[in-house]
Amino acid sequence: MKKCIKLHILTILLTTLIILVYLKGAILITLDIIYQTKVSNKSIATIYELNDYYPSTNMDINKLKYKESNSDNVYIDIYKSKKQNSPSPVVIYVHGGSWIFGNNGIPIGMEPVIEAFNKKGFTIISLSYELLREDIPISKPISDVKDAIRWVYKNKEEYNFDTDEIGLIGVSSGAHLSLLAAYSDDKEFIDDRRLAEYPSKVKYVIDVFGPTELSTLDFSIIDEDIRDDITALKNIDIIKNIYSPIYYVDENSPSTLIIHSKEDEIVPYENALSLYQRLKNKNIDTKLLTLKSGSHNFEGYEPKEVFYLIYEIFKFLTYNTRL
């Protein structure tokens, strides 16, 4: 009996040790974020506060143009790795805004998170892309995201980037652009011909409330001013049919973390389920995080779900990066 108890205790201890080793990166960066929050005297913004925020100004490089374009919106902000002695994994953030508004500003409340990742050796790039207008097709911002990835490959030596460790994280329409950029071929969506020779491959993509099948979107409940702009776009039916990420999934698609709320009133939850199933059918490493509360506009979330979400994101990054 005593031997059984000892064996049981030993099994628990070994299992705990394995879990701690496996999640070491997630645990350490969580502790570092808590520390950075204390020393910076800033609080991490809640999900709701991300709708109305002051943007961070702590980037190392501000508004660097990454491609040849007539647009003033094709620039990146770079938050550099603090470890200059080794190549840096790169995380590219793609903002949302229904494809027609928004900017790449990162909420000031997220600075402790960025600082913690920078200390762990990550470079964070916040991407600005060309917004849709009647004369700007949706292929333009998709090309912008892919050209930004190509820019990272082109400049890997100058900035000491690890191009085997590039990831995308997109929110809402930014997630749609990120998924298309991640799933499409290197030779698709090329705008700046000077970048055409470089790859656009990424190791993983994190999809936060992203539309995966555009025909399912309900534009009728979007704010009237925004709705008018969206429906005025040329060839909206063609856009729905051609530019849906779910149709680009294949056996070479990167690891994908899908985050979606069952209460999303604009992008139906079925978008997440369909993408998840398509990826599983292709044997792609994927995980679906389902939130039971909260709207598409990041309102009404239960705190416990937010903590669960943060933990799962770090766990995903631990598995897919050198975190």
Question: Of the ranges 53-57, 282-286, 301-305, which one carries the lowest mean pLDDT score?
Answer: 301-305
Mean pLDDT, residues 224-237: 54
Q: Residue 32: what pLDDT?
A: 60
Query: Cα dist. 53→34, 37, 48, 217, 234 in Å?
Result: 20, 17, 10, 27, 32
Pairing of strands 123-127, 161-171: unpaired
d(CA 299, CA 49): 9
Range of the domain at 177: 2-320
CA atoms within 13 A of residue 138's CA, in its CB half-sphere: 26
Q: Residue 109: what pLDDT?
A: 75
Confidence band of 83 (pLDDT split at 50, 70, 90): very high
Asked if residue 11 has pLDDT above 50, the reply is no
CB within 8 A of 322, min separation 6: which ones?
Answer: 25, 89, 121, 165
Tell me the whole-structure pTM to 2 decimals: 0.84
Pairing of strands 75-79, 61-65: antiparallel
Mean pLDDT, residues 209-223: 76
Asked if residue 277 has pLDDT above 80, the reply is yes
The CATH code of the domain that includes 38 is 3.40.50.1820
Give the model confidence (pLDDT) of 232-246 as tens digits. Answer: 443 466 566 688 999
Name the domain count of the chain.
Answer: 1
Query: Cα dist. 22→18, 81, 121, 316 in Å?
Result: 6, 23, 18, 11
